[in-house]
A and B are shown apart, each in its own frame.
Chain A
Amino acid sequence: MADPQNLITVSGVSKVFPGVVALEGVDFALRKGEIHALMGENGAGKSTLIKILTGVEQPDQGRIELENTAISIKSPQHAQALGISTVYQEINLCTNISVAENIMLGHEPRRFGGIHWKKLNELASQALARLGIELDVTQPLGIYSIAIQQMVAIARALAIASAKVLILDEPTSSLDANETARLFAVMRALKQEGIGIVFVTHFLDQVYEIVDRVTILRNGRFVGSFDIAALSRVELVAKMLGRVVDELQALAHDKGQVAPQTEKGQLIEASGLGLRGALQPLDLTVGVGEVLGIAGLLGSGRTELASLLFGIATPDSGSLSIDGQQVTRFSPQALIKRGVALCPEDRKAEGIVGDLSIRENIILGLQGRYGWFKFIGRQKQTEIAEKYIKLLGIRTPSPDQLVKNLSGGNQQKVILARWLVTQPRLLILDEPTRGIDVGAKAEIQKLVLELVKDGMSIVFISSELEEVVRMSDRIVVLRDHAKVAEYDHAVSDRTLMQTMAGEA
């Protein structure tokens, strides 16, 4: 493997976590001046491999070489010193200190033993200019958008002297099309400079747009490394899933059969529902056994709508009725009692309790419904948990696995299970498939359609248009915190996109 072109060579790396083999004999090589995609389903081992490369975790077995010299990466600091810089999906910067500090701190210019602020700000501005960005670097990072924060994170990664390897962990998941294009321009420029970029993403389009080679992992095992030009999309997906997938097409077919069932009457009726500063008054209905899609860009008011429907926020205008009965008290507790459930967008912060087991997480939902004083026997708990693990296909060795050790897709399924045990009538799904791989996505979509067949109503919020169109009976489009249009399921992606962007 002594290829002089190789920046990083990983061979035979294994890592075992309690109850889960995260990586087993994985090989990976990154060349100078290439963009190398790391792909795989959730739970494939991408995150673990990255954590090993950045020194957060230590491998149990295997060998890592940097420019053909064996190394062991002891800590994130050590990785940086070696020239391996990382930008994480959840931006790991500090919002209270200035943009300039976020970029330069750790290798700040000094004068008379103290920080040379003027020079520090200059250097930070230059580092951002390299990425084509100009902003006031003396302001705290927190006042800027997520996209800008992402760019600042990249600037920091590069500002570290002699960065040879840049790892981008799902950098585009919170960027819009323009911002992504800008990021790609930056990535191409860095590639020209000879930097090796590891690019983790779930977006196939992006892979084919920018990547040179791809390494695929599945269930912690190495599937292979390929030149992207020699690998078709179907082959790529098939290798990721380990099977030939026509599930997505099949799904579209299913949908055609179950289509409109609005005759069964309305479950939710909102008129003039709004909250100053969050959502302009809008009318909305959800029929029994209907999927109502909500389309809109990040910040268009999608999440605000969900929190009104679930009683997290109290509207200051309009009314909401469930089954013809007016809702008078807005609190999650009151609305859960009326049969509303919400799977929030940020599952880590708002959805799961990572330190409890799958069984405990699922039972939490039931306990909320039964009241705290009703005792549910241990055996009954395990029974319920196992039923849902099987039903939703949660991949785990046992119901007593801690939820934090599961992959994103499986965590999402646990949240779903927790609500399903309470048998809700309206299920609000806020970005249920975000950050989840193709296979798990298809499973969750299929599950949603099955629930609808049983008469459950669903509000489906997603930023993936194609998914919204495929899943929904009707689609409401939000823009700038207001409802701008309503379509039936025959609408095209293109029309939707134009409405969302405000061109139609």
Chain B
Amino acid sequence: MTQRLKLSVLRHGPLLMTITIFLMAYIIGAQLYPAMQRPQAFFNLFINNGFLLILGIGMTFVILTGGIDLSVGGVLALTTAASAALLNLGVSPLVVMPLMLVMGTAIGLGLGCLIHFFKVQPFIVTLMGLFFARGLAYIISLTSVTITDPLYKYLALTPIYLPFFAKAYIYIPTLVGPALLVVAIYLAYFTRFGRIVYAIGNNEQSAALMGFPVGRTKVLVYGLSGFCSALAGIVFSISLLAGYGQFATGVELDVIAAVVMGGTLLTGGVGNVIGTLFGILIEATIISILQYNGTLSSWWTRICVGVLTLIFIGIQSGFALRKKK
């Protein structure tokens, strides 16, 4: 029994570590700035960073297969720019949203096909995808385009008051990230697709010899990430009520850092989406502490995230070495 306990600690150690660090960061923040003790401060993490969570979920699946997706920020920006342009042309938002999701998925599937069929490194292919999508966003418009669509405005500005918490509220798009997280957990643990993603990340050749559809799964994973990027783009354009090619510049690296902090190994095969949630919450907490402080440069976020990511990688290697013994 103790042996089993030890094994399960080793297995879930990195995740427990991430959760602990998030709690510590939040508690320290709440001590320094009492405003963070309000429930609303916690919900703000989700309101402000929902799009990061959505991107992180897609990215987690990609990294689990041993790949990487640098195109997410580009697809997000393209989605905001294209949505804004189409809405201003008078196209119904009920057409625009599904259309954007289809576009994102198609871009992802396309990149996945290049990676799989032409055996090009995911790094190169998705970097190209990033340039392509962001470039296209600037072709649509060189400046920020404001969205005036009534449905978008309604979604952006109508708070939903939460039960049990006095005066705490969120917006409808805030729910998208957590809802997607539930779907992702189901996808990862209760579908063949999810399990094959893990198998591929461990050993692609073995997975193929075990008779799994390796190629199809890899292509689908990039399709999923493209879908998530477009979804994040829709959420992003609703919250800012604008579309612009410069939105979320460099976000791909923030997302990758969050996924790594969440215990997912870049070599693939190890990690989970729950860890990614907490990785993103850690980033969000650091950002909000700096905002409450008000005097520190916002670049401290990057510095903190950099240091934390480094610490996490150290801890992960520690756990990996222990496991081997």
Contact = CB atoms under 8 A, between A and B. Distances in A.
Contact of A94 (B11, B186, B191, B269): B269
A96 interface: yes
Given A96-B270, A143-B7, A105 B195 contact: yes
Interface in B74-102: none
Contacts of B186: 114
Contacts of B210: 76, 92-94, 102, 105-106, 156
Given A92-B209, A97-B195, A136-B4, A115 B189 contact: yes
Interface in A108-151: 108, 114-115, 117, 136, 139-140, 142-143
Q: Which of B198, B199, B205 has the most CB of A within 10 A?
A: B199
A96 B202 contact: yes
B206 interface: yes
B162 to A, nearest CB: 30
B53 interface: no
A277 B210 CA distance: 35
A80 interface: yes
A77 to B, nearest CB: 4
B102 to A, nearest CB: 23
Contacts of A105: 192, 195-196, 199, 210, 212
Contacts of B195: 97, 101, 105, 108, 115
A101 B207 CA distance: 12
A140 B11 contact: yes
A88 interface: yes
B7 A94 contact: no
Interface string B199-216: 101110111111111000
Query: Which 6 interchain pairs have the tightest Cβ spacing?
Result: A114-B190, A92-B206, A94-B202, A96-B202, A92-B209, A94-B199
By secondary structure, the B interface counts as: helix
A353 B245 CA distance: 46
Contacts of B189: 115
Given A114-B191, A140-B11, A143-B7, A96 B201 contact: yes
A94 B192 contact: no
A56 B4 CA distance: 38
A101 B196 CA distance: 10
Interface in A272-314: 277
14 contacts: A56-B209, A76-B211, A88-B209, A92-B209, A94-B207, A94-B210, A95-B202, A95-B203, A105-B196, A106-B210, A117-B190, A140-B11, A142-B323, A143-B323
Given A94-B206, A277-B325, 5 more contacts: A77-B213, A94-B199, A102-B210, A106-B211, A115-B189
Contacts of B191: 114-115
Contacts of A277: 325
Nearest to A143: B7
A97 B206 CA distance: 12
The range of chain B's interface size is 20 to 34
A97 B199 contact: yes
A94 B203 contact: yes
A105 B198 CA distance: 12
Contacts of A79: 211
Residue of B201, B205, B209 most packed against chain A (CB within 10 A): B209
Given A80-B211, A106-B212, A97 B198 contact: yes
Nearest to B205: A92
Interface in B278-294: none
A115 B211 contact: no
Contacts of A77: 211-213
Contacts of B211: 76-77, 79-80, 106, 160
A235 B325 CA distance: 47
A93 B270 CA distance: 15
Contacts of B206: 92-94
B209 A76 contact: yes
Nearest to B4: A136
Interface in B4-28: 4, 7, 11
Contacts of B192: 105-106, 108, 115
A79 B210 CA distance: 11
Interface in B163-220: 186, 189-192, 195-196, 198-199, 201-203, 205-213
B11 A96 contact: no
B213 to A, nearest CB: 7
Contacts of A142: 323
Interface in A83-100: 86, 88, 92-97
Contacts of B323: 142-143
A26 B274 CA distance: 54
A497 B212 CA distance: 43
Contacts of A97: 195, 198-199, 202
A92 B209 CA distance: 7
Contacts of B208: 76
Interface string B307-325: 0000000000000000101
A108 B190 CA distance: 10
Contacts of A102: 210
A498 B164 CA distance: 73
A168 to B, nearest CB: 14
Contacts of A139: 7
A346 B147 CA distance: 62
Contacts of A93: 206, 210
A438 B190 CA distance: 49
Given A105-B195, A105-B199, A108-B192, A96 B212 contact: no
B318 to A, nearest CB: 16
Contacts of B213: 77
The residue in A97, A102, A117, A139 that gathers the most chain B C-beta atoms within 10 A of its C-beta is A97
Interface in B196-248: 196, 198-199, 201-203, 205-213
A139 B206 CA distance: 19
A54 B210 CA distance: 11
A156 B212 CA distance: 13
Nearest to B324: A142
Contacts of B11: 140
B10 to A, nearest CB: 9
A114 B199 CA distance: 17
Nearest to A106: B211
A64 to B, nearest CB: 18
B198 A96 contact: yes
A89 B115 CA distance: 29
A131 B325 CA distance: 28
A88 B186 CA distance: 32
B270 to A, nearest CB: 6
A96 B265 CA distance: 12
Contacts of A143: 7, 323
A139 B190 CA distance: 17
A94 B211 CA distance: 12
Interface in A188-240: none
Q: Which of B195, B210, B213 has the most chain A CB within a 10 Å cutoff? A: B210
A54 B208 CA distance: 12
A162 to B, nearest CB: 14
Contacts of B269: 94, 96
Nearest to B325: A277
A49 B12 CA distance: 43
B187 to A, nearest CB: 9
Contacts of B212: 77, 105-106
Nearest to B191: A114
Contacts of B205: 92
